[in-house]
Structure 1
Amino acid sequence: MTVFDMARSALHTDPYGTIAGLREQGALVRARYLEGSEIWLATRDAEVRAVLADPRFVVDPASVPGGRAADTRRDAMRAMGMDEELIPYLTEAILDHDPPDHSRLRKLVSRAFTVRRITEMRPRVEETCKRLLAALPDHAENGAVDLIEHFAYPMPITVICDLVGVPESERSLWLGWSHGLMSAEPVAMRAALREMVGHIREMINARRAAPAGRLLDALIEAREAGGDRLSETELITMVLSLVVAGHETTAHLIGNGTVALLTHPAQLAAVRADPGLLPDLVHEVQRWCGPLLYGRLRYAREDLELGGERVAAGDAVMALIVGANRDPARYPDPDRFDVLRPREPGRGEEHVGFGHGPHYCLGAALARQEAEAGFGALLASYPDLALAVPEQELEWLPRPGFRRLARLPVHLSAARLR
């Protein structure tokens, strides 16, 4: 059996074509992970959902009885040269825990993401969009503006930092650290993570002395109270995860979606004509070109059958999000970008761009709201918005697991198109 090499393939330069080829090979395909170990790739919708939701698959290798699962993610971090004392901050986040710890951590933070709380935040999200969009002409160079740097990134980081309680004066630091952490460059990752952890400790100490009524204060209280208390590492990791995950994926959801719209004139015209399509637009963007290519590794707790293959206890399995979201068995003409794509009433999200099962994204409702507000305000503010370079010249970053633009140069007015 040929083993697919994730590190030496076109997975990150041509994710859609590569994953389509894997899907044709089978529902489960053997692959070599980034650090060299062998894993399974789930390539189709049914198997991806099973890996994400079946309790026989766990995210923590220590949850597999008998120590039969290798700690593949930690091994990958070590192979990259990550300092041992920093690894827990990347491998012990809420997404790295199984019940009951996962349930405990999710309960502590989920109150910040209730429907009521998200709805109350909408005016602030819309005001932030308008302010950033009004300033775009000031950032033009040779008639073009980088929408990633000046809108897609600062909007969601403003929102999540407001929610968590990161002071406005420190948000530019977080942007720089986040870029370093997501760079996949070991030196930059180590430096960024070390500074982030130290900064969070400083914030915690400051907020103990002067609470400000934000999520961070509630987490500090949970750290120091009885009952479902947080450990020191859990508190730091929770803040780190919320801020980074709370803006990175949303920024590139907006960036990727803007490219999709500007390269599909009929779809752009449909949304301009009917702003009521904005929720459908966000769903289709997340399905067709969402920023997440694949999920975290899961480990089989026991021997089982999946996709016609025998998966042994301890085997690592990775769910290919793109494989599910473009599975022709699930979606008619799945490679077509179509904001008018029919969705079954009452089913909610049909894609798995925000995950599936117990680890479904806590901030999905907030991300959808930010994207709806961002796309709506962008299209209303700049009716002549257009790419400033040919689509084939856009630079996609080869980041493991992500579909992200380095920059998105656009023209804001029709005058620049002549």
Structure 2
Amino acid sequence: MTATNPMTSSTTGTAGPDPMSPELIADPCGGYGKLREQAPVLRGQFMEGSPVWFVTRYEDVHTVLGDPRFVNDPASVPGPVAVDIRRNVMESMGVPPELGEYLSGGIIDSDAPDHTRLRKLVSRTFTVRRVADLRPRVEAITAALLDDLAAAAPGPVDLVETFAYPLPITVICELVGIPEADRPAWHDWGRALVSMNPKVLPDALRAMVDHIHDLIRRRRAEPADDLLSGLIRTHDEDGDRLSDAEMVSLVLTLVLAGHETTAHLIANATVALLAHPDQLDLLRRDPGLWPGAVNELMRWCGPVHLVRLRYAATDVELGGVRIRAGDGVQAVLVSANFDPREYADPDRLDVTRRPSSRGDGHVGFGHGAHYCLGAALARQEGEVALHALFERFPNLSPAIDPVELVWQQVPGARRLAELPVTV
């Protein structure tokens, strides 16, 4: 990767955004922000070189995420099958086809009616009421983790490994039914998967799939009060509602999505609040601001910057550009969430900011049919974790100069490798 201009492809030399460019990886907010102000829709390339359209402004991103003319599965495009860019990416990562189906054949990459069917099977676990019932357990896990941090005082300690990761992975694994002894392995597998490193990704994926198959066998013999046991009952009673591969893919997706994003939201938000003591002071003086603050933090420093690739199911005009049926379309969340056409003073972190009439007021959790299934749980975990962290440790501070923080070099995401703090 030698390109330094986000408008230059690192592999073809063609003009257009390239998510693998060092500038976009190092400074996604600034880099994609430049692209947003150049044009609402730009022709560029996906991670493995396939041509796609990048959509950068809030209104257009909102359209792509919510308009049924944009689909997640290229097989949903009428006529000749569109190029499956996802499979090209998996091949470039060394993922064999028999494993690739677990990444591209599940709830995230399906469209109605399959997506609707799969979402109904798990949606009751993540309703606002069910999530509210989980709050005491989230608070108890948080308190125990903070006790461990206190025992390590004054530090330094890595807040990512000791707090930001353990909280959400414990919660989602308890919900799904992953035994406590297996959770450290899931943490390692998840990091390998999101690294996009072909040297470790395929082995990690195979280990996860094998583990889920083994867990299904164990749960079938000894059912428990968890989501996996419920999925097994659904599969065994009516195989038409849930196939073997779909069950494995659901578990894989729920566990990974249920802890990776939340962990990095907590870490990123901690850095943001430490860098904005005026905003932290507002939260300390009025704890009632925390729910809205988490929403603003998701907008301002959410870890997911590129949403799952969409495909135009028909010819569509968007942002003054004609997008042809079958074309890949990449909605850019980070540029949409800082669009001055939608937000007053978007670069300013403001924990008193309230959303407009449209839902969250940001697209950090997506929008439309594929809106994040666990958004309510992620918001609750973020609120509980951050409120308790700063209340328990009022003198929490970075253990290193913030400019020395190491960010993972992963396209489309903003994730800290570690967060050393003194407590």
Q: TM class, shorter-chain normalised?
A: over 0.9
Q: Secondary structure at the match of 2:290?
A: helix
Percent of pairs with identical residues: 55
Aligned to 1:368: 379
Aligned to 2:111: 98
Residue 134 (structure 1) aligned to one of 114, 139, 147: 147
Aligned to 1:286: 298
1:303-342 residue pairs with structure 2 within 5 A? 303-342=315-354
Aligned equivalents of 1:356, 1:135: Cα separation in 2:
37
CA contact 1:125–1:373 (8 Å) conserved in 2:
yes
Aligned to 2:249: 237
1:342 Cα deviation (Å)? 3.6
Q: Secondary structure at the match of 1:317?
A: strand
Aligned equivalents of 2:174, 2:378: Cα separation in 1:
14
Aligned to 1:416: none
Aligned to 2:182: 170
1:284-326 CA distances to partner (integer Å, 9 max, x unpaired)? 1100010100101110111110000000011100100011100
1:112-147 CA distances to partner (integer Å, 9 max, x unpaired)? 11222111110000000000011014446x831100
Aligned equivalents of 1:342, 1:56: Cα separation in 2:
30
Q: Secondary structure at the match of 2:200?
A: helix
Aligned equivalents of 1:347, 1:31: Cα separation in 2:
29
CA contact 2:292–2:354 (8 Å) conserved in 1:
no
1:359 Cα deviation (Å)? 0.2
1:56-67 residue pairs with structure 2 within 5 A? 56-67=69-80
Aligned equivalents of 2:74, 2:250: Cα separation in 1:
20
Mapped pair 1:80 → 2:89: no
1:136-169 CA distances to partner (integer Å, 9 max, x unpaired)? 14446x8311000000000000000111111111
Aligned to 1:259: 271
User: Which range moved further: 184-193 or 349-358?
Assistant: 184-193
1:83 Cα deviation (Å)? 1.7
CA contact 2:72–2:111 (8 Å) conserved in 1:
yes
2:42 partner amino acid: V
Aligned to 1:124: 137
Aligned to 1:377: 388
2:232 partner amino acid: I
Aligned equivalents of 1:139, 1:243: Cα separation in 2:
29
Residue 358 (structure 1) aligned to one of 361, 369, 385: 369
Q: Secondary structure at the match of 1:207?
A: helix
RMSD of equivalent CA atoms: 1.3
1:202 partner amino acid: D
Q: Secondary structure at the match of 1:310?
A: strand
1:41-70 CA distances to partner (integer Å, 9 max, x unpaired)? 000001101110100000000111112521
Mapped pair 1:187 → 2:199: yes
Aligned equivalents of 1:128, 1:187: Cα separation in 2:
34
1:183 Cα deviation (Å)? 1.4
Unaligned runs of 5+ in 2: 1-13
Q: Secondary structure at the match of 1:404?
A: coil
TM-score (norm 2): 0.95
2:70 partner amino acid: F
